[in-house]
Chain A
Protein backbone atom coordinates (compact mmCIF):
# COMPACT_ATOMS: atom_id res chain seq x y z
CA UNK A 1 0.00 0.00 0.00
CA UNK A 2 2.78 2.42 0.95
CA UNK A 3 4.48 1.66 -2.34
CA UNK A 4 1.34 2.55 -4.26
CA UNK A 5 0.96 5.79 -2.29
CA UNK A 6 4.53 6.75 -3.16
CA UNK A 7 3.71 6.62 -6.84
CA UNK A 8 1.05 9.31 -6.49
CA UNK A 9 1.95 12.71 -7.79
CA UNK A 10 -1.18 14.55 -6.73
CA UNK A 11 -2.59 14.11 -3.26
CA UNK A 12 -4.69 17.24 -2.79
CA UNK A 13 -8.20 15.95 -3.11
CA UNK A 14 -9.87 12.58 -3.08
CA UNK A 15 -12.65 12.10 -5.61
CA UNK A 16 -15.62 9.80 -5.85
CA UNK A 17 -15.02 6.97 -8.30
CA UNK A 18 -17.58 4.51 -9.57
CA UNK A 19 -16.67 1.02 -10.67
CA UNK A 20 -18.36 -2.11 -11.92
CA UNK A 21 -17.77 -5.77 -11.32
CA UNK A 22 -19.88 -8.40 -13.12
CA UNK A 23 -20.39 -10.25 -9.82
CA UNK A 24 -20.73 -7.42 -7.35
CA UNK A 25 -22.41 -4.84 -9.55
CA UNK A 26 -21.77 -1.12 -9.14
CA UNK A 27 -19.68 0.23 -6.27
CA UNK A 28 -18.41 3.66 -5.26
CA UNK A 29 -15.29 4.66 -3.44
CA UNK A 30 -13.51 7.86 -2.52
CA UNK A 31 -9.85 7.91 -3.49
CA UNK A 32 -7.11 9.80 -5.31
CA UNK A 33 -6.82 9.47 -9.07
CA UNK A 34 -5.18 6.15 -9.90
CA UNK A 35 -1.41 6.39 -10.55
CA UNK A 36 -1.59 5.73 -14.31
CA UNK A 37 -3.98 8.62 -14.78
CA UNK A 38 -1.90 10.91 -12.61
CA UNK A 39 0.95 10.44 -15.06
CA UNK A 40 -1.33 11.56 -17.89
CA UNK A 41 -2.39 14.63 -15.94
CA UNK A 42 1.23 15.47 -15.31
CA UNK A 43 2.07 15.07 -18.99
CA UNK A 44 -0.59 17.64 -19.79
CA UNK A 45 1.09 20.11 -17.44
CA UNK A 46 4.54 19.20 -18.80
CA UNK A 47 3.37 20.41 -22.21
CA UNK A 48 2.36 23.74 -20.68
CA UNK A 49 5.72 24.02 -18.97
CA UNK A 50 7.70 23.25 -22.10
CA UNK A 51 5.76 25.94 -23.96
CA UNK A 52 6.64 28.39 -21.18
CA UNK A 53 10.31 27.40 -21.52
CA UNK A 54 10.23 27.96 -25.29
CA UNK A 55 8.70 31.35 -24.90
CA UNK A 56 11.15 32.28 -22.12
CA UNK A 57 14.04 31.54 -24.44
CA UNK A 58 12.59 33.81 -27.11
CA UNK A 59 12.06 36.61 -24.59
CA UNK A 60 15.71 36.35 -23.59
CA UNK A 61 16.66 36.63 -27.26
CA UNK A 62 14.63 39.81 -27.38
CA UNK A 63 12.13 38.47 -29.91
CA UNK A 64 9.03 38.52 -27.70
CA UNK A 65 7.75 40.71 -24.91
CA UNK A 66 7.12 39.50 -21.32
CA UNK A 67 3.41 39.50 -22.15
CA UNK A 68 3.90 36.27 -24.11
CA UNK A 69 5.33 34.63 -20.99
CA UNK A 70 2.18 35.33 -19.01
CA UNK A 71 -0.06 34.24 -21.85
CA UNK A 72 1.62 30.83 -21.95
CA UNK A 73 1.81 30.58 -18.18
CA UNK A 74 -1.93 31.23 -17.92
CA UNK A 75 -2.69 29.17 -21.04
CA UNK A 76 -4.49 32.08 -22.59
CA UNK A 77 -4.67 32.57 -26.31
CA UNK A 78 -5.45 35.83 -28.07
CA UNK A 79 -9.26 35.58 -28.12
CA UNK A 80 -9.46 34.74 -24.42
CA UNK A 81 -7.02 37.46 -23.36
CA UNK A 82 -8.97 39.88 -25.54
CA UNK A 83 -12.17 38.89 -23.66
CA UNK A 84 -10.51 39.37 -20.28
CA UNK A 85 -8.82 42.70 -21.01
CA UNK A 86 -11.27 44.22 -23.45
CA UNK A 87 -8.36 45.06 -25.79
CA UNK A 88 -8.69 44.29 -29.49
CA UNK A 89 -6.79 41.23 -30.67
CA UNK A 90 -4.57 43.14 -33.08
CA UNK A 91 -3.60 45.44 -30.25
CA UNK A 92 -2.56 42.55 -28.01
CA UNK A 93 -0.64 41.09 -30.93
CA UNK A 94 1.32 44.34 -31.21
CA UNK A 95 2.05 44.24 -27.48
CA UNK A 96 3.89 40.96 -28.03
CA UNK A 97 6.71 42.98 -29.62
CA UNK A 98 9.30 43.94 -26.99
CA UNK A 99 9.71 47.46 -28.36
CA UNK A 100 5.99 48.23 -28.27
CA UNK A 101 5.50 46.60 -24.89
CA UNK A 102 8.26 48.62 -23.20
CA UNK A 103 6.49 51.86 -24.18
CA UNK A 104 3.01 50.91 -22.91
CA UNK A 105 1.09 53.33 -20.72
CA UNK A 106 0.79 52.47 -17.00
CA UNK A 107 -2.98 52.00 -17.29
CA UNK A 108 -2.56 49.35 -19.98
CA UNK A 109 0.11 47.57 -17.96
CA UNK A 110 -2.08 47.67 -14.87
CA UNK A 111 -4.90 46.03 -16.82
CA UNK A 112 -2.66 43.17 -17.91
CA UNK A 113 -1.26 42.83 -14.39
CA UNK A 114 -4.73 42.54 -12.87
CA UNK A 115 -5.82 39.92 -15.42
CA UNK A 116 -2.73 37.79 -14.72
CA UNK A 117 -3.03 38.50 -11.00
CA UNK A 118 0.54 39.83 -10.60
CA UNK A 119 2.12 43.19 -9.75
CA UNK A 120 3.18 45.55 -12.54
CA UNK A 121 6.82 45.04 -11.58
CA UNK A 122 6.44 41.29 -11.90
CA UNK A 123 4.68 41.75 -15.22
CA UNK A 124 7.68 43.65 -16.60
CA UNK A 125 10.21 41.17 -15.17
CA UNK A 126 8.73 37.67 -15.40
CA UNK A 127 10.53 34.80 -13.64
CA UNK A 128 11.80 33.30 -16.90
CA UNK A 129 12.64 29.62 -16.91
Chain B
Protein backbone atom coordinates (compact mmCIF):
# COMPACT_ATOMS: atom_id res chain seq x y z
CA UNK B 1 0.00 0.00 0.00
CA UNK B 2 1.12 3.52 -0.77
CA UNK B 3 2.44 5.43 2.23
CA UNK B 4 0.81 8.79 2.49
CA UNK B 5 1.10 11.66 4.88
CA UNK B 6 -1.65 12.05 7.47
CA UNK B 7 -4.66 14.07 6.40
CA UNK B 8 -6.97 15.57 8.96
CA UNK B 9 -9.86 17.84 8.25
CA UNK B 10 -10.91 20.22 10.96
CA UNK B 11 -14.39 18.71 11.18
CA UNK B 12 -16.51 19.05 14.27
CA UNK B 13 -18.28 15.93 15.51
CA UNK B 14 -21.61 16.65 17.14
CA UNK B 15 -23.85 13.87 18.32
CA UNK B 16 -27.32 13.68 16.80
CA UNK B 17 -30.53 11.70 17.12
CA UNK B 18 -30.44 10.28 13.59
CA UNK B 19 -27.41 9.26 11.58
CA UNK B 20 -28.17 10.87 8.23
CA UNK B 21 -29.69 14.16 9.34
CA UNK B 22 -26.86 14.41 11.87
CA UNK B 23 -24.26 13.89 9.16
CA UNK B 24 -26.01 16.38 6.87
CA UNK B 25 -26.26 19.03 9.57
CA UNK B 26 -22.59 18.56 10.56
CA UNK B 27 -21.54 18.85 6.93
CA UNK B 28 -23.50 22.11 6.60
CA UNK B 29 -21.82 23.40 9.72
CA UNK B 30 -18.40 22.55 8.33
CA UNK B 31 -19.14 24.85 5.39
CA UNK B 32 -20.15 27.63 7.74
CA UNK B 33 -23.94 27.26 7.57
CA UNK B 34 -25.62 27.06 10.97
CA UNK B 35 -28.04 24.20 10.46
CA UNK B 36 -29.50 22.19 13.32
CA UNK B 37 -30.25 18.50 12.98
CA UNK B 38 -34.05 18.97 13.00
CA UNK B 39 -33.80 21.57 10.21
CA UNK B 40 -31.78 19.21 8.02
CA UNK B 41 -34.19 16.40 8.84
CA UNK B 42 -37.29 18.46 8.02
CA UNK B 43 -36.03 20.09 4.82
CA UNK B 44 -34.69 16.71 3.71
CA UNK B 45 -38.13 15.12 4.35
CA UNK B 46 -36.81 12.48 6.73
CA UNK B 47 -40.23 11.69 8.17
CA UNK B 48 -42.09 8.78 6.66
CA UNK B 49 -44.15 5.75 7.41
CA UNK B 50 -44.57 2.50 5.57
CA UNK B 51 -45.73 -0.92 6.63
CA UNK B 52 -44.93 -3.90 4.42
CA UNK B 53 -46.17 -7.01 6.25
CA UNK B 54 -45.40 -9.34 3.33
CA UNK B 55 -41.70 -8.54 3.55
CA UNK B 56 -40.05 -10.03 6.61
CA UNK B 57 -37.01 -8.30 8.01
CA UNK B 58 -35.28 -10.24 10.77
CA UNK B 59 -38.35 -12.52 10.83
CA UNK B 60 -40.78 -9.68 11.55
CA UNK B 61 -43.02 -7.53 9.29
CA UNK B 62 -41.07 -4.72 7.74
CA UNK B 63 -41.92 -1.16 8.58
CA UNK B 64 -40.13 2.11 8.28
CA UNK B 65 -40.43 5.38 10.11
CA UNK B 66 -37.97 7.21 7.92
CA UNK B 67 -37.35 7.83 4.28
CA UNK B 68 -35.05 5.80 2.07
CA UNK B 69 -31.31 6.19 2.67
CA UNK B 70 -29.77 9.35 1.26
CA UNK B 71 -33.12 11.12 0.91
CA UNK B 72 -32.33 13.58 3.69
CA UNK B 73 -28.96 14.56 2.26
CA UNK B 74 -30.07 14.64 -1.36
CA UNK B 75 -33.31 16.58 -0.85
CA UNK B 76 -31.96 19.10 1.63
CA UNK B 77 -29.18 19.93 -0.85
CA UNK B 78 -31.63 20.13 -3.72
CA UNK B 79 -34.19 22.30 -1.95
CA UNK B 80 -31.51 24.67 -0.66
CA UNK B 81 -29.68 24.87 -3.98
CA UNK B 82 -26.37 23.53 -2.68
CA UNK B 83 -23.89 21.99 -5.12
CA UNK B 84 -23.36 18.44 -3.83
CA UNK B 85 -22.30 15.12 -5.31
CA UNK B 86 -23.73 11.68 -4.64
CA UNK B 87 -22.04 8.60 -6.07
CA UNK B 88 -24.76 5.99 -5.83
CA UNK B 89 -22.58 2.97 -6.29
CA UNK B 90 -19.17 1.76 -7.31
CA UNK B 91 -18.33 -1.30 -9.32
CA UNK B 92 -15.00 -1.80 -7.68
CA UNK B 93 -13.87 -1.87 -4.05
CA UNK B 94 -10.46 -0.33 -4.70
CA UNK B 95 -11.94 2.51 -6.73
CA UNK B 96 -14.44 3.35 -3.98
CA UNK B 97 -11.58 3.72 -1.49
CA UNK B 98 -9.37 5.68 -3.90
CA UNK B 99 -12.09 8.22 -4.57
CA UNK B 100 -12.55 8.61 -0.82
CA UNK B 101 -8.80 9.13 -0.32
CA UNK B 102 -8.69 11.73 -3.07
CA UNK B 103 -11.56 13.60 -1.41
CA UNK B 104 -9.73 13.60 1.92
CA UNK B 105 -6.58 14.91 0.22
CA UNK B 106 -8.63 17.77 -1.16
CA UNK B 107 -9.95 18.43 2.35
CA UNK B 108 -13.53 17.35 1.70
CA UNK B 109 -15.30 15.58 4.57
CA UNK B 110 -17.22 12.77 2.89
CA UNK B 111 -20.37 10.92 3.90
CA UNK B 112 -20.57 7.18 3.36
CA UNK B 113 -23.42 4.71 3.65
CA UNK B 114 -22.46 1.59 5.58
CA UNK B 115 -23.82 -1.64 7.04
CA UNK B 116 -23.55 -1.82 10.82
CA UNK B 117 -23.07 -5.58 11.26
CA UNK B 118 -19.29 -5.38 11.03
CA UNK B 119 -18.89 -1.84 12.32
CA UNK B 120 -16.17 -2.51 14.88
CA UNK B 121 -16.67 0.57 17.05
CA UNK B 122 -20.38 -0.15 17.52
CA UNK B 123 -21.41 -1.82 20.79
CA UNK B 124 -22.47 -5.46 20.18
CA UNK B 125 -26.15 -4.82 20.84
CA UNK B 126 -26.32 -2.38 17.87
CA UNK B 127 -24.86 -4.80 15.38
CA UNK B 128 -27.54 -6.20 13.13
CA UNK B 129 -27.69 -6.52 9.36
CA UNK B 130 -28.82 -2.97 8.90
CA UNK B 131 -27.36 -1.31 5.82
CA UNK B 132 -28.81 2.17 5.94
CA UNK B 133 -26.41 3.72 8.38
CA UNK B 134 -24.49 6.89 7.59
CA UNK B 135 -21.26 8.40 8.83
CA UNK B 136 -18.72 10.98 7.74
CA UNK B 137 -15.04 10.25 7.07
CA UNK B 138 -12.93 13.27 7.85
CA UNK B 139 -9.33 12.13 8.10
CA UNK B 140 -6.76 9.49 7.39
CA UNK B 141 -3.52 8.61 9.18
CA UNK B 142 -1.64 5.75 7.61
CA UNK B 143 -4.07 2.86 7.71
CA UNK B 144 -6.60 4.53 10.01
CA UNK B 145 -9.63 6.53 8.95
CA UNK B 146 -11.19 9.09 11.25
CA UNK B 147 -14.94 8.78 11.44
CA UNK B 148 -17.71 10.96 12.76
CA UNK B 149 -20.71 8.76 13.53
CA UNK B 150 -23.46 10.88 15.03
CA UNK B 151 -24.99 7.98 16.95
CA UNK B 152 -21.77 7.69 18.96
CA UNK B 153 -20.82 10.11 21.69
CA UNK B 154 -17.26 10.56 20.41
CA UNK B 155 -15.39 10.45 17.08
CA UNK B 156 -14.12 7.01 16.07
CA UNK B 157 -11.51 5.35 13.87
CA UNK B 158 -11.61 2.41 11.46
CA UNK B 159 -8.83 0.56 9.65
CA UNK B 160 -8.79 0.43 5.85
CA UNK B 161 -10.03 -3.18 5.82
CA UNK B 162 -12.79 -2.56 8.34
CA UNK B 163 -14.00 0.44 6.37
CA UNK B 164 -14.06 -1.63 3.17
CA UNK B 165 -16.05 -4.27 4.99
CA UNK B 166 -18.81 -1.96 6.13
CA UNK B 167 -18.96 0.02 2.89
CA UNK B 168 -19.42 -3.24 1.00
CA UNK B 169 -21.85 -4.94 3.39
CA UNK B 170 -24.31 -7.24 1.62
CA UNK B 171 -28.03 -7.85 1.92
CA UNK B 172 -31.09 -5.58 1.65
CA UNK B 173 -30.20 -1.98 0.73
CA UNK B 174 -26.53 -2.89 0.30
CA UNK B 175 -24.52 0.37 0.30
CA UNK B 176 -22.21 -0.66 -2.57
CA UNK B 177 -19.71 1.97 -1.52
CA UNK B 178 -22.17 4.87 -1.79
CA UNK B 179 -20.66 8.22 -0.85
CA UNK B 180 -21.67 11.87 -0.89
CA UNK B 181 -20.22 15.27 -0.18
CA UNK B 182 -20.79 19.01 -0.56
CA UNK B 183 -18.88 20.82 -3.31
CA UNK B 184 -19.90 24.38 -2.82
CA UNK B 185 -22.39 26.27 -0.69
CA UNK B 186 -23.82 29.51 -2.14
CA UNK B 187 -23.41 32.68 -0.06
CA UNK B 188 -27.12 33.17 0.44
CA UNK B 189 -29.27 30.17 1.28
CA UNK B 190 -33.02 30.46 0.83
CA UNK B 191 -34.03 28.52 3.95
CA UNK B 192 -37.63 29.70 3.59
CA UNK B 193 -37.95 28.06 0.18
CA UNK B 194 -36.27 24.89 1.47
CA UNK B 195 -38.67 24.59 4.39
CA UNK B 196 -41.65 25.16 2.11
CA UNK B 197 -40.52 22.50 -0.36
CA UNK B 198 -39.66 20.04 2.39
CA UNK B 199 -43.04 20.40 4.04
CA UNK B 200 -44.86 20.09 0.73
CA UNK B 201 -43.07 16.85 -0.07
CA UNK B 202 -43.61 15.37 3.41
CA UNK B 203 -47.32 16.22 3.31
CA UNK B 204 -47.55 14.38 0.01
CA UNK B 205 -45.66 11.36 1.27
CA UNK B 206 -47.55 11.07 4.52
CA UNK B 207 -51.10 11.70 3.31
CA UNK B 208 -51.39 11.52 -0.47
CA UNK B 209 -49.35 8.66 -1.87
CA UNK B 210 -51.88 6.48 -3.70
CA UNK B 211 -50.80 3.27 -1.98
CA UNK B 212 -52.54 1.88 1.07
CA UNK B 213 -49.44 0.92 3.07
CA UNK B 214 -47.63 4.25 2.96
CA UNK B 215 -48.15 7.22 5.29
CA UNK B 216 -51.17 7.62 7.55
CA UNK B 217 -53.04 4.93 5.64
CA UNK B 218 -50.29 2.44 6.39
CA UNK B 219 -50.49 3.30 10.08
CA UNK B 220 -54.19 2.50 10.07
CA UNK B 221 -53.57 -0.85 8.35
CA UNK B 222 -50.94 -1.68 10.94
CA UNK B 223 -53.29 -0.69 13.78
CA UNK B 224 -55.90 -3.13 12.48
CA UNK B 225 -53.29 -5.87 12.13
CA UNK B 226 -51.99 -5.37 15.67
CA UNK B 227 -55.44 -6.11 17.09
CA UNK B 228 -55.48 -9.42 15.22
CA UNK B 229 -51.94 -10.58 16.00
CA UNK B 230 -52.51 -12.71 19.14
CA UNK B 231 -55.40 -14.58 17.52
CA UNK B 232 -53.67 -14.99 14.19
CA UNK B 233 -50.10 -15.80 15.24
CA UNK B 234 -50.34 -16.87 18.88
CA UNK B 235 -48.98 -15.08 21.89
CA UNK B 236 -45.29 -15.57 21.46
CA UNK B 237 -45.08 -14.46 17.87
CA UNK B 238 -47.37 -11.49 18.51
CA UNK B 239 -45.04 -10.35 21.29
CA UNK B 240 -42.06 -10.69 18.95
CA UNK B 241 -43.80 -8.67 16.22
CA UNK B 242 -44.76 -6.01 18.72
CA UNK B 243 -41.18 -5.95 19.99
CA UNK B 244 -39.97 -5.35 16.47
CA UNK B 245 -42.20 -2.25 16.13
CA UNK B 246 -40.75 -0.95 19.36
CA UNK B 247 -37.22 -1.71 18.25
CA UNK B 248 -37.79 0.15 14.99
CA UNK B 249 -39.36 3.12 16.74
CA UNK B 250 -37.09 3.53 19.72
CA UNK B 251 -33.81 1.88 18.89
CA UNK B 252 -30.49 3.35 18.06
CA UNK B 253 -30.42 6.60 16.20
CA UNK B 254 -34.07 7.54 15.93
CA UNK B 255 -34.04 10.42 18.37
CA UNK B 256 -36.98 8.64 20.00
CA UNK B 257 -40.56 7.80 19.00
CA UNK B 258 -39.71 6.96 15.43
CA UNK B 259 -38.24 10.36 14.48
CA UNK B 260 -41.47 12.19 15.44
CA UNK B 261 -39.71 14.37 18.01
CA UNK B 262 -37.09 15.48 15.50
CA UNK B 263 -39.76 16.45 12.98
CA UNK B 264 -41.68 18.33 15.65
CA UNK B 265 -38.52 20.20 16.60
CA UNK B 266 -38.11 21.13 12.93
CA UNK B 267 -41.64 22.56 12.77
CA UNK B 268 -40.97 24.50 15.95
CA UNK B 269 -37.67 25.94 14.76
CA UNK B 270 -39.16 26.92 11.39
CA UNK B 271 -42.15 28.45 13.11
CA UNK B 272 -39.91 30.59 15.31
CA UNK B 273 -37.63 31.54 12.45
CA UNK B 274 -40.41 32.75 10.16
CA UNK B 275 -42.76 33.80 12.94
CA UNK B 276 -45.50 31.51 11.67
CA UNK B 277 -48.31 30.65 14.04
CA UNK B 278 -49.64 27.67 12.08
CA UNK B 279 -46.22 26.00 12.14
CA UNK B 280 -45.92 26.51 15.88
CA UNK B 281 -49.33 24.96 16.41
CA UNK B 282 -48.39 22.02 14.22
CA UNK B 283 -45.13 21.66 16.20
CA UNK B 284 -47.08 21.46 19.42
CA UNK B 285 -49.42 18.85 17.99
CA UNK B 286 -46.47 16.85 16.62
CA UNK B 287 -44.91 16.89 20.09
CA UNK B 288 -48.10 15.51 21.59
CA UNK B 289 -48.22 12.86 18.87
CA UNK B 290 -44.63 11.89 19.63
CA UNK B 291 -45.51 11.61 23.32
CA UNK B 292 -48.39 9.35 22.34
CA UNK B 293 -45.91 7.21 20.39
CA UNK B 294 -43.76 7.06 23.48
CA UNK B 295 -46.78 6.00 25.52
CA UNK B 296 -47.45 3.30 22.94
CA UNK B 297 -43.90 1.98 23.19
CA UNK B 298 -43.96 2.07 27.00
CA UNK B 299 -47.18 0.10 27.09
CA UNK B 300 -45.91 -2.28 24.42
CA UNK B 301 -42.65 -2.80 26.27
CA UNK B 302 -44.50 -3.62 29.48
CA UNK B 303 -46.64 -6.04 27.55
CA UNK B 304 -43.62 -7.77 26.01
CA UNK B 305 -41.79 -7.85 29.32
CA UNK B 306 -44.50 -9.35 31.46
CA UNK B 307 -46.31 -11.57 28.97
CA UNK B 308 -49.65 -10.26 30.15
CA UNK B 309 -52.48 -12.55 31.17
CA UNK B 310 -55.10 -11.05 28.87
CA UNK B 311 -53.17 -10.55 25.65
CA UNK B 312 -56.12 -10.16 23.32
CA UNK B 313 -57.51 -7.15 25.21
CA UNK B 314 -54.03 -5.65 25.41
CA UNK B 315 -53.45 -5.89 21.69
CA UNK B 316 -56.83 -4.30 21.03
CA UNK B 317 -55.80 -1.44 23.31
CA UNK B 318 -52.50 -1.08 21.47
CA UNK B 319 -54.28 -1.18 18.10
CA UNK B 320 -56.69 1.52 19.24
CA UNK B 321 -53.78 3.59 20.39
CA UNK B 322 -52.12 3.27 17.00
CA UNK B 323 -55.38 4.39 15.37
CA UNK B 324 -55.40 7.42 17.61
CA UNK B 325 -51.78 8.20 16.70
CA UNK B 326 -52.65 7.93 13.00
CA UNK B 327 -55.49 10.41 13.53
CA UNK B 328 -53.20 12.84 15.36
CA UNK B 329 -50.52 12.70 12.69
CA UNK B 330 -53.16 13.28 10.04
CA UNK B 331 -54.14 16.44 11.93
CA UNK B 332 -50.53 17.63 11.91
CA UNK B 333 -50.17 17.22 8.17
CA UNK B 334 -53.61 18.73 7.48
CA UNK B 335 -52.51 21.74 9.50
CA UNK B 336 -49.37 22.32 7.43
CA UNK B 337 -50.80 21.23 4.09
CA UNK B 338 -51.65 24.60 2.59
CA UNK B 339 -49.18 26.58 4.58
CA UNK B 340 -47.75 29.88 3.34
CA UNK B 341 -44.51 30.82 4.97
Binding site for B on A (CB under 8 A): 10, 12-22, 25-26, 28, 30, 33, 36-37, 39-45, 47, 74-76, 79-80, 83-84, 117
Residues of B within 8 A of A44 (CB): 58, 243-244, 247
B250 within 8 A of A: yes
**Closest-CB distance, A53 to chain B (whole angstroms):** 15
Query: Which residues of B in the span 274-296 have a Cβ within 8 Å of any Cβ on A?
Result: 283-284, 287-288, 290-291
Residues of A within 8 A of B240 (CB): 43, 47
B30 within 8 A of A: no
User: In the complex the two chains form, is A20's CB within 8 Å of B290's CB?
Assistant: yes
Query: Which residues of B in the span 123-158 have a Cβ within 8 Å of any Cβ on A?
Result: 123-126, 128-129, 150-153
User: In the complex the two chains form, is B304's CB within 8 Å of A43's CB?
Assistant: yes
Residues of B within 8 A of A14 (CB): 153
**Closest-CB distance, A24 to chain B (whole angstroms):** 10
**Closest-CB distance, A15 to chain B (whole angstroms):** 6
Known: A22-B288, A36-B298, A39-B301. A17 touches B256 (CB 8 A): yes
A26–B302 Cα distance when bound, in Å, is 26
Report the 4 A-B pairs with minimum CB-CB distance, sorted nearest first: A12-B123, A20-B287, A18-B261, A83-B170
Q: Which of B129, B255, B305 is close to A16, meaning CB atoms less than 8 Å apart?
A: B255
Known: A22-B284, A22-B287, A47-B240. A16 touches B15 (CB 8 A): yes
A79–B170 Cα distance when bound, in Å, is 10
User: In the complex the two chains form, is A10's CB within 8 Å of B123's CB?
Assistant: yes
A54–B245 Cα distance when bound, in Å, is 25
User: In the complex the two chains form, is B129's CB within 8 Å of A80's CB?
Assistant: yes
B16 within 8 A of A: yes
User: In the complex the two chains form, is B288's CB within 8 Å of A75's CB?
Assistant: no
A37–B240 Cα distance when bound, in Å, is 14
SS class, residues of chain B in contact with chain A: helix
- Which one of B219-227, B262-270, B319-327, B333-341 contacts A? B262-270
SS class, residues of chain A in contact with chain B: mixed
13 contacts between A and B (CB under 8 A): A13-B123, A13-B152, A14-B153, A15-B252, A16-B150, A18-B17, A26-B265, A36-B297, A39-B305, A40-B247, A40-B301, A44-B58, A47-B240
Residues of B within 8 A of A84 (CB): 170
**Closest-CB distance, A29 to chain B (whole angstroms):** 10
B251 within 8 A of A: yes
Q: Which of B129, B283, B291, B302 is close to A76, meaning CB atoms less than 8 Å apart?
A: B129
**Closest-CB distance, B63 to chain A (whole angstroms):** 15
A14–B152 Cα distance when bound, in Å, is 7
B246 within 8 A of A: yes
B46 within 8 A of A: no
Residue of B nearest to A12 (CB): B123
Contact code string B92-128 (vs A, CB < 8 Å = 1, else 0): 0000000000000000000000000110000111101
A39–B331 Cα distance when bound, in Å, is 33
Known: A13-B153, A47-B240, A75-B58. A18 touches B262 (CB 8 A): yes
Residues of A within 8 A of B125 (CB): 10, 12, 41-42, 45
**Closest-CB distance, A93 to chain B (whole angstroms):** 18
**Closest-CB distance, A89 to chain B (whole angstroms):** 13
Known: A16-B255, A37-B251, A40-B304. A26 touches B129 (CB 8 A): no
Residues of B within 8 A of A47 (CB): 59, 240
